Each structure stands twice: as structure tokens, then as C-alpha cells.
Amino acid sequence: MRDICAAVPELDYICIDVANGYSEYFIEFIRKVREEFPRHTVLAGNVVTGEIVEELLLTGADIVKVGIGPGSVCTTRKKAGVGYPQLSATMECADAAHGLNGHVISDGGCTNPGDVAKAFGGGADFVMIGGLFAGHDQSGGEVIEKDGRLRDICAAVPELDYICIDVANGYSEHFIEFIRRVREEFPRHTVLAGNVVTGEIVEELLLTGADIVKVGIGPGSVCTTRKKAGVGYPQLSATMECADAAHGLNGHVISDGGCTNPGDVAKAFGGGADFVMIGGLFAGHDQSGGEVIEKDGRKFKLFYGMSSDTAMTKHQGSVAEYRSSEGKTITIPYRGDVNATVQDILGGLRSACTYTGAAKLKVSYCLPKELN
């Protein structure tokens, strides 16, 4: 190590990486490294418990690598019967490290982008990724600016009454400020804003200028946000919480996604939704979008999420390098005219009102309690 550092003087980091960071020899080696290389940042690991993290930091490490056996090509847990759930290890070790102004790297266990988000959420300062990057070429991407402005669209189509500002994450300050500007510039329009899943942000959006708030993060049948980002909220719970907040300010909510059958539509209205947004139930019909495909004598239609690679390529030209797809593209059996499906949904709503004694959908707000 002395020879390497002398040959490459611009090195700033030294990583001492062993399978078992609990040996006395390893700890003593970290001490020696710190004494001989005082200006370098020393990384040491791997470990999975708070006590050893504290010992390594006090011995001389700056950053501790956390993880025993979580890697996709690691067999330590099977071969040695030793390991620790990665998120639990990350949380415990991060608490210990941050108490001493140290840092941790969550090393392994990320099989999808959601796992990366969970690692950071568990307190990791850095996340080490292997399997997710395996098999890829190094490639960049191009960020493409969206064409047109809202002002130009409204001027070109003066009969428009509604403006829908639809983003995946309605919690950003930039989004809230944009809603404020839209309300100021278009006072006569009905403004829809989303998506969110909690009452506080619903109130903020309504007070900022929105008339209707879209509720739902990750419930859609072709949405993969919960898997990719590890973020979401059970749709009925989100609808109930957001509806309570909105109705207290004379606002409205749209329950967006999660309806796989007419009963789900009934539950959304029962949870307080003023409107229900449906995608998957209408997919595959003549009136729905998507390309018709014939396979083995049968007809199918494409159905894709608006955050899928298909949608981003179609509407924006490409997928930006800095983000991942949070939707999927699937084929749905061709289902003909949509009228039969609409009648099926309406029939389900009527039956739900009958079961709960509701004369109209607004009264069916008690439905979740009845089902419980």
C-alpha cells in the first residue's frame, strides 16, 4: 500500500475491503493505515452492526462499508449461514456512524432502483451498486426540453376550461410555485394538480390555487413507482385522507389509479373521491389508445404507463439519462366496444350503493367502514 500511494500521489481514498470486518487483525490494520496515511480518507468494511462501526471509526476509518451477503452474486449467507437484512443493517450502522460524524456505504442488495432509494432512506451516505449495472455499456443520455408553453396552448384553444398539471411527485416546491403562477395567470380555468397522497399537501395545493387534486402514487396497473422508487401509499387510505382534507376547504379530489374491477371504483367513491380516474379497466377497447397487434390469430392492444419507456420515447423523444422508467408496457387482449365495460362499472356502483344503503354516490362515503 505504501508503494501504491507513493506511485500515485493524487490518490485521496484508501479502501480496506474484507469479507469479515470483525477480526482484531483487521481493526489493528485500520489503525496502522490511519497512522501512516493521515491525509487520506479511509474506507473500511464490511460489517453489519453498530458497535463495530463505532470501533472502526474511533480506530481511524472515515467511512464504513455495510453489508454481509446481500449481493446478487454473493453466496455468503448460503455457504456460511451468516448475514443480516441489508436495510436493517444500514439503519443500525448509519445511526452509529452519524453519532460520531462518520459515514456509511450500503454495499449490495439493490435489485431495483427502489432498493437504492430505501438504502438512502435508511441513512446510507453512499450506496454501492453492482448487479443493477451489470451487462450494460457505459452510455449517456440527452435531456430534451418540452416544446410549447401553457400560455400558447390556452391562447390557441380558447374554449379550454380545464388545466391539468400532472407530475409524478406533487411535493416539490417548484411544482407548488408553478400551480400558484398558473392560478394567477388563468383565473377563470379549473386547475387540476397532482399527484399526491397526503392531506397536508392537498390543503397546500388548494390554498395555492388548485381546484381539484389528483391522488395516487404507484397504484396503477402499469405503474412501477413502488418497485422502482420504493415510494407509495395504499390507494384507498390515500383517497380517504386526501378527501377529508380537500372537502374541508371546499375542494375536490380525483382518485387516480388502482381500479382493477368495478368494486375498486366503488371503494374509491366510498372513500370520498369526487372523481375516479380509470386506465387499465378501459385498456384493450376500440375507444382506447394503443396499437392493435395480431398474434397467433388473436388480437391484442398495447397498454403502457405514462412514465414507461414507450410513453417517454413517444411523447418526449427519449428517456432522460438521469431518470428511470417507472411504468411498463404490456399487451391486453382486444375487448371490442367499451360500452359493456362501462355498464359493468355502473352496475357495480349501483350494487355498492344498495349494499350500503346509499341513495347516491356522495352518501356512499360510509362504504369503507361497511366493508371493514
Q: Which sequence positions are flagged as catalytic?
A: 223, 225
- Burial of 340 by CB count in 10 Å (0-12 exposed, 13-18 middle, 19+ buried)? exposed
CA distance 80 to 77: 6
DSSP 209: T
Other CB atoms within 10 A of residue 139 CB: 6
Report whether 300 contacts 331 (CB < 8 A). Answer: yes
Report whether 108 contacts 86 (CB < 8 A). Answer: yes
CA distance 224 to 304: 11
CA distance 160 to 189: 8
Bridge pairing between strands 275-277 and 190-196: unpaired
Which amino acid makes up residue 217? I
